[in-house]
Each structure stands twice: as C-alpha cells, then as structure tokens.
Structure 1
Amino acid sequence: MKKITYLLIGAFLISGFSMKAQEEDRNRVITTAVPFLLVAADARAAGMGDQGVATSPDVFSQQWNPAKYAFASRENGISVSYTPYLSEIVNDIFLGSLNYYHKLDDRSALAGSLRYFSLGSIETRQYFEQNPILVNPNELTFDLSYSLKLSEQVSMAVAGRYLRSDLGLQDEEDLGAASTFGVDVAAYYESDQITMSSFDGQWRLGANISNIGPKMKYDDAGQENFIPTNLKIGGGFDFIFDSENKLGTYLEVNKLLVPTPQDFDGDGDIDGEDDVEYNSIGSIEGIFKSFGDAPDGFSEELKEFTLALGAEYWYREKFALRAGYFNESDQKGFRKFFSLGAGFAYQSVVIDASYLFNTSSVPSPLEGTLRFGLSFNFGDNYAN
C-alpha cells in the first residue's frame, strides 16, 4: 500500500459512521476533513445530547455559539475538558480543549480556544515484512472570537479559526501537516424573564454557521477535502420555579453545509471519475449546493439534519443534572444515543461530567466513556 491515509479512519472513529449504512449505500454518508470539530468537546453540552447553540452562556461557548459570551455574567472564564475515545480498547486516543474569555465591558467580549485530537500511536508499514514505523497522527484548531450585544437581548459574534491536520505518511516520509482556516458567524437571543402564574420563564435562541473556509489538502497529488462547514439552529426555554430551582429545555438541529457525493456520469456508481467532478466544487459553492443536491430529493435532504433534545436542572445554582438525546438518519451516519450529565459549582469553580448510552446498532467510540470539564469564573459581575 503506497500511501497510508488516516482521514477516513478519523472520520469513522469520531462520527461513528455506520459500516452497515455504508454497505447498504456507501455513498450517502458525507465525510470531511477534521470531523472532530463536530463532536462535543465539553461535558456540559455532551450531557444534553451534544448541543449548546442556545443554552445559557458558559466558558465552553466558543464551540457552540461565541455570541453567548456577550451575555456572560462574570468578567473572565477559563476551562479545560478531556474526552477519551475508544476507551474500552485503547488509552491514548482523546479529545481535549482549553477555553478562555474576557468581557471587555457589559456589551462585548473576546474569547479564544484550543482543541486537540490525538489518534494515539499507530504502527505503519508498506509491506508485511517491513519494520513498522511509529507515527502519532493528530489534529488541532485554534480560534479567536469577538462578540457584541446589538441590544439588551441580541448579540452577534465572528470567529476566526486555524485548522491543522497531521495525518499523512507516504513512502516512509512525513508529508507534513495540512492546514486551512475557517470563519464562524453566530447570533444569540436571550429574553427578559417572563412572569407566569406559577413560575417565571426565559426564552433563548441561537444560530451559528461555523467553519466557513477553504478545503484542506494533504499532499500535492491528493484530493482536496471539505472542512465541516456546519449550520446550527436551536432554541430553549428556562422554567424558573423559584430562587432555588430552574429547569432548562433545549432543541437543536444541525446540518453539514457540504455537498453530497453524486453519480455525476450516470453509470450507477460513484467512482473516481465522479470524485474528480465532486472535488472541483468550491467551498462556498458547496455550501449552497448542500441544500438541494441529495440524490433522492427533498426527502433525503431532510435526513441530512441531525436533531438533539436536552434538559438541564439546577438546584441553588450549585448542583445540576442533565439529560439529552441525539438522532441522525441511518442513511447519513447512524449516530443515535442518550446522554446523562451532572455539574457541581462551588464559588468560582464548576466541575462537569457526562456519560453516553449508545442506542444505535453500530458501536459508538464514546460508549462507556466519562467526559470531564473544569471551569473557573472570576472577576467582576455583570448584570444582564
């Protein structure tokens, strides 16, 4: 085998793409470079079904909706998270993140984050008799964002992201890391508290188009790969029963803004000739094509949306319980799972944990795994 490519291996590990789905219709699953960007890096979001575009602001908002930072209640926040992968098989594959935000004033904030995905140590060889070469493939992103309140209830944000993927090896020679950049555009709405007959309430809405940017290419002779440009739209409502009890309920839909592979020449199979035309599609052109290019029309286009439902209960702003459900079409990836989570806050420190229960017939790389997050909030208080 002349070239060892880890891109599709990474896509399988991270997204849990179904071998069954690929056997039945292997060309319906959309794959991208750096797919780990679509996975919840923090335990709070993971405990609510991998969602966070419309949940209340926290230090981990950079991945989900950086516009939420403008509504943060503390001047500064810093957090770290750790997510092991395939923990029942190996112990060196993981996703980690580091996040920081700073409120410039009551209306604006700056934030940055680093995400790192390690595929552990892998032995590669061109021939069976050859001595193996040990490689450590990894991917990372670094981003910065600026968020601003446009009114007392609405904020927007822009983020710039550097993406680096070091996965390639050819003829015993390191091909070097592939890199590109992406841009996010996000919005967030947080209503005033609404007085009901027996409780108060608050609406939250959010949207984010993330990772808008050029494709990623691993070597001069290889194909260019779309990065996971993604649309998130969500909403939620907080039931504020009294000063000690609050329940948030949330719904989020996601869609990859990446074109679906096509049988361009009409020969009944998607092969190398079709790949040439597919790869000629530009990244911005692909965003618009992604809304209407599914081979089976609108019914299949709907299957490219994923759905997440989640809830979060807080007692005295000290202890939280979370639950969520994530669903993806069998034809588009087969990810289906329930999640549970908990959080504990003491003064400026917040500790989060979550656990995933796979409900798909295909094993999940996160099954049987505990995710952890640690946050610190400090500085002046800001009343929203």
Structure 2
Amino acid sequence: MINRIFFIIRHFLFHVVFSFFITFKCLAQSSDPERAYKVALPFLLITPDARSAGMGETGVSTSSDVYSIYWNAAKYAFSEQSSGVGISITPWKRQLAEDMNVFYLSGFHRLNELQTIATSIKYFTLGRSIFIDNEGNNTNSYKPSDLSIDFAYIRKLSEVFSLSTTVKYVRSDITALDFVQGQGITGQAFGADIGLFYYKPISAGHQDGTLAIGANISNLGTNIKYGSVNLAMPTLVKLGGSYIGTHDGSLKYAFSVELNKLLVKNVSNMPNVSTGLEVILADKLALRTGYYNTKTILEEGKYFTTGIGLNYLNFSINFSYLFPTQSLNASANTIRYSLGYTINKRNNPIN
C-alpha cells in the first residue's frame, strides 16, 4: 500500500514538474510586459469534433473518445478501446466567407494499462485572399492558415485517477496585412496542456453509474511574434463534472456541466458555462443536445446545440448543429462532421 502511494506521488510530481518546466521555459522567452493584454491564435479555441459540439461544447469531463486530446487527454487512461483515430471537418462561419474550414485529425494508442500516448493535428484555413491595385486589378492572392500539432503522454495513477501532459507546436500564416512580395509573415509558438481526470463507479439509489470530474489548463506557452508584434496564446482553464448512467442495459445516458475561463485580462472575468446531455440507444444510436454561453476573443453569445451519432462495428459517425439565441450571428448554423475508428482489444475495460 505504501509503495503504491509513493508510485502515485512520484508520477504525479513528474507530470507537474515536466509541464511547468515547459510552461516557464516558454514564458521566459517573452519580454513583453503587456503579454496578458495581447492574445492571438483564436483557432485554438474552436471546438474540433461533432460529439462535444452537440453536447453544448462540453468535453473536459465526458467519457473518453478519439478526440479527447483536445479537451482533456487524461481521459484516455479510462478508454474502453486500445487505440483509435478520428477526423473532423467544420465549415466555419460561412456567412463571412465561403471557404473557411477547420480540419482535425487525432489518434491515441494505449501502451499498457497505465500508459497511453496521443497526437493530433488541427488546420484552420481562412480561404483565399485576393490583392488588388488602385485600379481594381488583381495583383496577387494569399491563403491564410493556422496549424497546431500536439503530442500527449497520459499516465493512470490509480484505479480512479489519471494525469496528462501535452506539448504543442503552433504555426500561423494569417498575416495578410503584412503580405510583401508574395510572402506573408509567419508566426511560431510552443505550448503545453495539463489534464486531470477522476473516473469512479458509484451507486445512485438502485442504479449504478459513473462519476467523472475533469480539469484542464491549455495553451500555456510562448508568445507568437508577427514581425515586431508579440501576442500571447489564449490560455484556457476548464473544469467540469459528468454523471454517466445506464437503464435496463440497453440505454446509456450522460449529463455534463462545465466551466471554462480565459486567463486574459481584457476578457470578461465571468466563466463560460456549458451543459450537455447524451443518450445512447443499444450502443448504436446517440442523441445529443446542449446549451452554452460564451464570451471570448473568438465569439460572444448564447447557443443551443444538437447532435446525432451512429456506431457500426468499430466505426462512429457524428454530426452536430449549432444555432444561436440571437440573430445576426456569424456562428449560426455551424455544422460539424466527425468520423472515428477504434480498435477493441482491452481485456479489462473500465466501464
């Protein structure tokens, strides 16, 4: 028992020290005293997958799926599958431009019962920009884009607790205003995420269920520099809880409540609230809905969401739809599509 406690403490401290070493190393590279007031890379805050989007943009405490590295990589420690890969496509704010899209590819692999690795690539394209001269003639074109590549290591510390560390590389080519001689100014940055996850079976009356609590701090890292301008990454803190239950063996349901807040002084001090509900019938059909309000550098508003998912063999297809409570909103009618594939080889699934 004592050896087990020391084992948990040792690996917990390893993750924490490693993550904060990355964070402080990154921050030490910036000498901008107004770092907290200047923020870039809002694409890092765009929800990439249809499942979480359909549940009111909840994800830090929901059950694990192939896209967990974005929300809270520590969830992979309790995955029922040994590995998986997923791809998502989000046509983004088509009321502003017809060719803005978010592409997301992610995957994970369980090395053993205690260790898991994961990776993801997020690519955001803002469409093609056309440059014209004073006479209205086309002189050049440019396609702004953002890219993020993430790698995560996840450790299961006990039967109910896990911890994750994610490192990321970000490249931004969106500075069309600085376009000179056919080349835009490219910004680069490095960052880290830290995730915690608690996942414990409980009994509620005559029903057995699972309580899940998740916490994550993401986008800790260096400033990104566009020419002579230094801008900070959008550091985000997420905290949430979920209850996952079953009824008659053929129906599963989950209810989630989550809070998130940007650690940026020029953004509202009030946390954003998200709620989501998921109902799964016979492990084949998933119905989802949710509600969230947000005020960030990315958008501001109150939204209802809905979604549907289909599971067949090892494949899953998910779809989500977002509609705001107010008119004239560029995020109205946002649709997300996700396709996932998992391999079931675990001998002792958690749930």
TM range (shorter): 0.7 to 0.9
Q: 1:120 and 1:183 mapped to 2: Cα distance?
A: 28
Task: Indicate whether 1:112 and 2:119 are aligned.
Answer: yes
Q: Give the C-alpha shift of residue 333 in structure 1.
A: 4.7
Distance 1:136 1:331 in 2: 22
Match status 1:34 vs 2:41: yes
AA partner of residue 140 (structure 2): I
Matched position secondary structure for 1:301: coil
Are positions 1:167 and 2:133 aligned together?
A: no
Q: 1:329 to 1:60 in 2, by over 3 A?
A: closer
Classify 1:128/1:308 alpha carbon distance in 2 versus 1 (closer, same or farther; 3 Å). Answer: farther
Match of 1:212 among 209, 220, 238: 220
Say if 2:307 is the partner of 1:341.
yes
SS at match of 1:166: strand
One-letter code aligned to 1:180? A
> Within 2, Cα distance between the matches of 1:126 and 1:164?
29
Cα deviation, 1:114-157, whole Å, max 9, x if unaligned, reads 00000011112464545332100000100100001110000000
For residues 41-52 of structure 1, the aligned pairs below 5 Å read 41-52=48-59
Q: 2:254 aligns with which of 244, 248, 256?
A: 248
Q: Within 1, Cα distance between the matches of 2:179 and 2:339?
A: 39
Is 1:308 the counterpart of 2:274? The answer is: yes
Q: Take 1:86 and 1:214, find their aligned partners in 2: how far apart are those partners?
A: 28
Q: Which residue of 1 aligns with 2:342?
A: 377
- State the 1:328 CA deviation: 2.3
Q: How far off its partner does 1:85 sit?
A: 1.4
Query: The residue matched to 2:269 in structure 1 has which SS?
Result: helix
Counterpart contact for 2:45–2:298, Cα < 8 Å: no
The aligned runs of 1:227-306 (5 Å cut-off) are 227-260=233-266, 301-302=269-270, 305-306=271-272
| Alignment correspondent of 2:13 | none
SS of equivalent to 1:335: strand
Sort the Cα spacing of 1:191 and 1:101 in 2 relative to 1 into closer, same or farther, 3 A.
same
Q: Which residue of 1 aligns with 2:70?
A: 63
1:143 and 2:150 equivalent?
Answer: yes
Query: Is the 1:334–1:360 contact (alpha carbons within 8 Å) kept by the matching residues of 2?
Result: no
Question: Structure 2: how far apart are the matches of 1:252 and 1:126?
Answer: 49
Identity %: 34
> Displacement, 1:88?
4.8
Q: Which position in structure 1 is the counterpart of 2:33?
A: none
| Residues 255-284 of structure 1: CA deviation (Å, up to 9, x unaligned) | 111232xxxxxxxxxxxxxxxxxxxxxxxx
Change (3 A) 1:228 1:330: closer
Structure whose residues are more often strand by fraction? 2
1:352 equivalent in structure 2: 318
Q: Shift of residue 90 of structure 1?
A: 4.0
Match of 1:68, SS state, is helix
Aligned equivalent of 1:278: none
Two-structure CA RMSD over aligned residues (Å): 2.0
> CA contact under 8 A between 1:358 and 1:364: conserved in structure 2?
no
Cα offset, 1:179, TM superposition: 0.5
- Give the structure 1 partner of residue 34 of structure 2: none
Change (3 A) 1:337 1:118: same
User: How big is the shift at 1:108?
Assistant: 1.4
Secondary structure at 2:283 match in 1? coil
Contact in 1 for aligned 2:95/2:330 (Cα 8 Å): no
Residue of structure 1 aligned with 2:287, choices 321, 338, 353: 321
Secondary structure of 1:132's aligned partner: strand
Alignment TM-score, normalising by the size of structure 2: 0.84
* C-alpha separation in 2, matches of 1:349 and 1:41: 18
Relative to 1, partners in 2 of residues 1:144 and 1:329: Cα closer, same or farther, differing over 3 Å? closer
Stretch deviating more after TM superposition (329-338 or 232-241)? 329-338
Q: Deviations over 1:260-316 (max 9, x none)?
A: 2xxxxxxxxxxxxxxxxxxxxxxxxxxxxxxxxx8xxxxx622xx111010100111
**Aligned counterpart, 1:13:** none
Larger mean CA deviation between 67-76 and 332-341 belongs to 332-341
Aligned residue among 94, 118, 126 for 1:87: 94
Paired position in structure 2 for 1:26: none
What residue ranges of structure 2 are gaps of 5+ in the alignment?
A: 1-36
- Of 151-160 and 90-99, deviating more is 90-99
Match of 1:74 among 61, 78, 81: 81
State the match for 1:181 in structure 2.
190
CA deviation map 1:303-348 (0-9, x unaligned): xx11101010011111100001110259995321100001111111
CA distance in 2, matches of 1:330, 1:66: 23
State the Cα distance separating 1:359 from its structure 2 match. Answer: 1.1
Structure 2 distance, partners of 1:146, 1:307, is 28
- Counterparts of 2:260 and 2:234, CA distance in 1: 11
Structure 1's 195 and 379: CA in aligned 2 closer, same or farther, altered over 3 A?
closer
Cα distance in 2, alignment partners of residues 70 and 306 from structure 1: 27
Q: Paired residues, what number?
A: 311
Report the alpha carbon displacement of residue 51 of structure 1 after superposing the two structures with TM. 1.7
- Residue in structure 2 matched with residue 191 of structure 1 by the alignment: 200
- 2:6 corresponds to which residue? none
Contact 1:334 1:362 in 2 (8 A): no
